[in-house]
């Protein structure tokens, strides 16, 4: 007797949607989506809540991730993310590469694509749908840089695409050099050896490899010896930059997270409570004294290994909702990701975007300067939370900008 198909319901506020679950290779659903490319979720004004120096076009072809990291903040999100947390079902946005293509073709201004800020682009479901490689190709075909970040194995196809496109790069996230410990922190993902091999492959083929030791987990992966071992190993493999952070915990996940650390690593919850004493934007953070000591240690280790370092989304709480980023205290690179990627523009009827000469992609630096940004787009200087509609507006405004872009590019002004 044939098995009946499984139908699940996903709640979006008062709206419910029903989907048939495809069980192989892992449980997932196919969704038609009109979601759009966009920039970072927060701008630096009015509360200082942005540390990402460069503007990006964020892309998530999947919601839910079978790597299932213990600490993943997406477990606290609703909609399709909640579906994975509660039922283990990944959402696949059907033909999302074609939607990305249409959106890019409507622009004359673009920033580096980012695949993916929330869910891993090379989790196992990608082996079936190849959305990540297909999206990478859409950027490369238009001569727009793109980056990918993963705890999985980067495919050979993705590697070739990154190599082909100027200013593109890959980031490999490695939690610990201890493989047994890694397996207690995440259900899936590639082994530590495979992840280090990712860095070697990126360094050899694409030339730019970044390692994210991100996040560091207090009392689990924060010993100087372990961090020093990991930094040396990835630098020897070819990493040119290190990104790091200390794990923060969404309010809704705090007790589950602490319980899991106690069960899996024997860390008493009272010790974690002593460390996690600060709340910023609805998340519990390790106290700033602990984090400053941790990042000082990481900076020293990186300096000793002659590799640059930056922080990811690390803040100090000020009065009220105001925060101050910690990157200026600890980073040793221009951009937090260690790679300078300019804004790209497309002129006239050309199908190819080209980099704005003189732009290093650091919008936060432009924000602090009195001069107009070299890209000519004043809103990028604001380092805000940009939407696709903003990129479309800048694209319409690019016509007068084109009149002096050749002069800008010649270095005369």
Per residue in 389-400, pLDDT (tens digit) is: 999 999 998 755
User: Is 283 within the bounds of a domain?
Assistant: yes
The answer to the question of residue 301 being in a domain is yes
Average pLDDT over residues 255-264: 97
**3-class state of residue 325 by DSSP:** strand
Q: pLDDT class for 122, splitting at 50, 70, 90? A: very high
Give the chain's mean pLDDT.
94
The reply to whether 330 falls in a domain is: yes
Query: Is pLDDT of 248 > 70?
Result: yes
pLDDT at 228 over 70: yes
* Res 402 pLDDT > 90: no
Dihedral sign for Cα atoms in the order 127, 131, 134, 136: negative
- Residue with the bigger pLDDT between 189 and 411: it is 189
> Can you give the pLDDT at residue 161?
97
Number of domains in the chain: 1
Retrieve residue 365's tokens. Answer: 């630096």
How large a percentage of the chain has pLDDT more than 90?
A: 90
Name the band, by pLDDT with cuts 50, 70 and 90, for residue 287: very high
Q: State the pLDDT at residue 207.
A: 80
Residue 407 in this model has a pLDDT that exceeds 50: no
Sign of dihedral through CA atoms 310, 211, 142, 132?
A: negative
Q: What average pLDDT does range 382-411 have in this prediction?
A: 72
Residue 37 predicted with pLDDT over 70: yes
Range of the domain at 214: 210-341
Residue 76 lies in a domain: no
Residue 381 has pLDDT above 70, yes or no: yes
Q: How far is CA 43 from CA 111, 144, 385, 392, 395, in A?
A: 16, 23, 5, 18, 20
pLDDT at 348: 86
Q: What pLDDT is stored for residue 5 in this prediction?
A: 78
Task: Work out the average pLDDT over 1-25.
Answer: 86
Confidence of residue 206 (pLDDT cuts 50, 70, 90): confident
Confidence band, pLDDT 50/70/90 cuts, at residue 403? very low
Q: How confident is the model at residue 1 (pLDDT cuts 50, 70, 90)?
A: very low
- Encode burial over 307-330: b for 16+ CB neighbours within 10 A, e otherwise: bbbbbbbbbbbeeeeebebbbeeb
Q: How confident is the model at residue 349 (pLDDT cuts 50, 70, 90)?
A: confident
Percent of the chain with pLDDT over 70: 95
User: Domain for residue 302, yes or no?
Assistant: yes
pLDDT at 406: 44
Sign of the CA dihedral with 231 first, then 232, 238, and 240 last: positive
- Whether 405 maps to a domain, the answer reads no
Could you tell me if 81 and 74 are in contact, meaning their C-beta atoms sit under 8 angstroms apart? Answer: yes
Task: Give a yes or no: residue 267 inside a domain.
Answer: yes
* Alpha-carbon span 97 to 121, nearest angstrom: 13
Residue 124 located in a structural domain: no
Distance, in Å, from the CA atom of 201 to the CA atom of 338, rounded to the nearest integer, reads 18
Residue whose structure tokens are 């309010």? 251
Specify the pLDDT at position 413: 33
Contact 49, 281 (CB under 8 A): yes
Q: Give the pLDDT confidence score for residue 399 in this predicted structure.
A: 54
Evaluate if residue 256 carries a pLDDT over 70: yes
CB–CB of 388/59 below 8 Å? no
pLDDT score of 2 more than 90 = no
């Amino acid at each position: 007797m044939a098995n009946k198909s499984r139908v699940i319901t996903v709640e979006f506020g008062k709206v419910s949607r029903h989907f048939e679950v495809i069980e192989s290779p892992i449980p997932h659903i196919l969704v038609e989506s009109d979601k759009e490319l966009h920039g970072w979720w927060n701008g630096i004004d009015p509360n200082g809540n942005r540390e990402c120096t460069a503007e990006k076009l964020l892309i998530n072809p999947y919601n839910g991730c079978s790597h299932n990291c213990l600490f993943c903040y997406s477990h606290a999100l609703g909609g399709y993310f909640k579906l994975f947390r509660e039922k283990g079902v990944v959402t696949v946005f059907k033909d999302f590469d074609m939607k990305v293509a249409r959106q890019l073709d409507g622009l004359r201004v673009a920033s580096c694509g980012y695949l993916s800020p929330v869910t891993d682009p090379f989790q196992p479901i990608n082996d079936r749908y190849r959305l990540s490689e297909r999206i990478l190709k859409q950027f490369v075909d238009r001569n727009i840089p793109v980056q990918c970040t993963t705890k999985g194995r980067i495919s050979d196809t993705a590697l070739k695409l990154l190599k082909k496109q100027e200013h593109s790069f890959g980031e490999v996230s490695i939690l610990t050099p201890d493989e047994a410990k890694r397996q207690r922190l995440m259900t899936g993902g590639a082994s530590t050896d495979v992840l280090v091999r990712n860095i070697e492959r990126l360094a050899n083929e694409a030339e730019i490899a970044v390692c994210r030791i991100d996040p560091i987990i207090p009392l689990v992966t924060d010993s100087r010896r372990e961090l020093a071992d990991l930094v040396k190993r990835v630098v020897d493999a070819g990493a040119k930059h290190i990104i790091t952070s200390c794990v923060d915990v969404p309010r809704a996940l705090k007790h589950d997270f602490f319980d899991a650390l106690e069960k899996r690593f024997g860390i008493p919850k009272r010790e974690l409570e002593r460390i996690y004493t600060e709340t910023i934007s609805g998340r519990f953070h390790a106290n700033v004294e602990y984090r400053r000591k941790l990042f000082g240690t990481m900076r020293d280790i990186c300096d000793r290994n002659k590799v640059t370092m930056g922080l990811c989304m690390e803040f100090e709480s000020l009065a009220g909702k105001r925060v101050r980023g910690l990157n200026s205290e600890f980073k040793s690179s221009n951009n937090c990701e260690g790679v300078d990627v300019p804004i790209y523009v497309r002129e006239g009827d050309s199908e190819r975007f080209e980099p704005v000469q003189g732009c290093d992609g650091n919008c936060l630096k432009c924000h602090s300067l009195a001069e107009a940004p070299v890209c000519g787009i004043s809103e990028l200087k604001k380092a805000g939370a940009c939407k696709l509609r903003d990129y479309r507006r800048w694209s319409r405004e690019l016509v007068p900008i084109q009149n002096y872009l050749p002069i800008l590019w010649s270095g005369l002004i």
